[in-house]
Amino acid sequence: MASLLARSLQRFARVEPREVSALLWAFSYFFALLCSYYIVRPMRDEMGVAGGVDNLQWLFTGTFAAMLAAVPLFGWVSSRYARRRFVPLVYYFFIANLLLFFVLFRSDLTHAWVARAFFIWASVFNLFVVSVFWSLMADIFSNEQARRLFAFIAAGGTCGALAGPVITTSLAVPLGATNLLPLSALFLLWAVLCVQRLAAWSERVSAAAPATQDSASAEQPMGGGLFDGIRLVLGSPYLLGICVLMLLFTTLATFLYFQQAQIIAEHFADAAQRTAVFAAIDLAVNSLTILMQVFLTGRLVRWLGLPATLALVPLLLAVGFAALGFAPVLAVLVVVQVIRRAGNYAIMRPGREMLYVVLGRQEKYKAKNFIDTVVYRGGDVVSAWLYAGLRGLGLGLGEIAWLAVPLAGLWGWLAFVLGRRQTRLAQAHRRAT
């Protein structure tokens, strides 16, 4: 049966029979995570616009402050618990948060402050749960497996990101958006089950393979301190390069997000219409993403190699910002946003996660979590205030788009350099073993 399923999956991923169960559990895991998030994402985006587009930089600042508080807590938990325990603990924490917001939204508390807190929380939630997911993937799969399987695993997340907006648009009106929060929590429980099954598979594979230091310590607490992630990043030029890569990515994504908020606010005065537009963009992004993940991403890595694959999306975005510079209108923005986000999810994100597969466990969890959360949101904050400053100087949407073009080119060059470094590290690891 496993071989039959493996042959069926071979159409989409070069999976071996012994990897089938892990591939499907990882696919299901990412599906559950992103379905949970995309159920609440339209609520987050609407609350950001409702609070005033001119105030978005304050929400981004609040999100960064929340990240600064959360990362040491994650460092403490990951240092003291084995991965099979601390990964579920992360999801249980966010399940409790969802249920708390469900109670708050149904209470008589001041809605504006709860809405702002929800925007910040949802921004933290998204990065943390996805960062932990990819840390686990980079930990249990080898570099060779990652190149074959990560695109298909990422497609599981895209399926969840497709299902989430469908659930929200179908049930938000008859049930009320607030009443979807417990449903989002149920999907996180599903993710915990997947974590347990993947941990069991990894233990079986490690038991059957020759003993190594990594396999022996896989289910042991990592130890260390609260701020190991920062220390590891500052001590590694490779990780510092990934930090700069992340900062360029977040700067350009934030510029585009603010332009989206500005243009949509100008075109749609009704909150329900704006929420519907955001959900429609999500649906278009995720439909294109899954097609690319299933039929294109794995082949791109094989045909072009990791360096060129990583550079592809930044170069396409440079073209997109140039188009916005010529015509900063709704239709062009939607096309550029859909292509950027689909390219990120389908090509850039799996490729970026491959950068960590060649590193040690501390780097995969602690350093990666620091980069994915504090560096990511720090880039958001800086670029949010930079965007507000450029607008304050009188620059229009088109002029800001032109400023983003060389940044996208720099992002593409750095992505190519890091991809080549990852390839050399993988080759050195193979020779050492």
CATH number at residue 294: 1.20.1250.20
Please check the confidence at residue 13 and state whether its pLDDT lies above 90.
no
1 domain residue, yes or no: no
Highest mean pLDDT among 11-20, 140-149, 357-366, 412-421: 412-421
**Between residues 104 and 31, which one has the greater pLDDT?**
31
Total structural domains within the chain? 1
- Look at residue 94 in the predicted model and tell me its pLDDT: 92
Whether the per-residue pLDDT at 223 is higher than 60: the answer is: no
Domain contains 251? yes
Query: Which of 27-36, 59-68, 286-295, 417-426 is predicted least confidently?
Result: 59-68
Could you read off the pLDDT of 310-323 as tens digits, one per residue? 899 899 999 988 98
Mean pLDDT of the chain: 81
pLDDT, residue 365, reads 80
* Any domain includes 5: no
Tell me what the mean pLDDT of segment 109-135 comes to.
81
Q: pLDDT band for position 36 (50/70/90)?
A: very high
User: Per residue, what are the HEC states of the chain?
Assistant: CHHHHHHHHCCCCCCCHHHHHHHHHHHHHHHHHHHHHHHHHHHHHHHHHHCCHHHHHHHHHHHHHHHHHHHHHHHHHHHHCCHHHHHHHHHHHHHHHHHHHHHHHCCCCCHHHHHHHHHHHHHHHHHHHHHHHHHHHHHHCCHHHHHHHHHHHHHHHHHHHHHHHHHHHHHHHHHCHHHHHHHHHHHHHHHHHHHHHHHHHHHHHHHHCCCCHHHHHCCCCCCCCCCHHHHHHHCCHHHHHHHHHHHHHHHHHHHHHHHHHHHHHHHCCCHHHHHHHHHHHHHHHHHHHHHHHHHHHHHHHHHHCHHHHHHHHHHHHHHHHHHHHHCCCHHHHHHHHHHHHHHHHHHHHHHHHHHHHCCCHHHHHHHHHHHHHHHHHHHHHHHHHHHHHHHHCCCCHHHHHHHHHHHHHHHHHHHHHHHHHHHHHHHHHHHHC
User: Would you say residue 295 lies in a domain?
Assistant: yes
Asked whether the predicted pLDDT for residue 248 surpasses 80, the reply is yes
- Positive or negative, the Cα torsion across 84, 90, 93, 99? negative
pLDDT for 413 equals 95
In a domain, 8, yes or no: no
Q: What is the pLDDT of residue 9?
A: 66
Confidence of residue 237 (pLDDT cuts 50, 70, 90): very high
Q: What is the pTM of this model?
A: 0.77
For residue 431, being part of any structural domain is answered with no
Judge whether residue 431 has pLDDT over 80.
no
Q: Are 279 and 42 in contact (CB under 8 A)?
A: yes
Residue 185: the pLDDT is 94
Q: Is residue 228 part of a domain?
A: yes
Q: Is residue 240 situated within a structural domain?
A: yes
pLDDT of residue 433: 60
Q: How confident is the model at residue 400 (pLDDT cuts 50, 70, 90)?
A: confident
Which residue range is the domain that position 43 belongs to?
Answer: 18-423
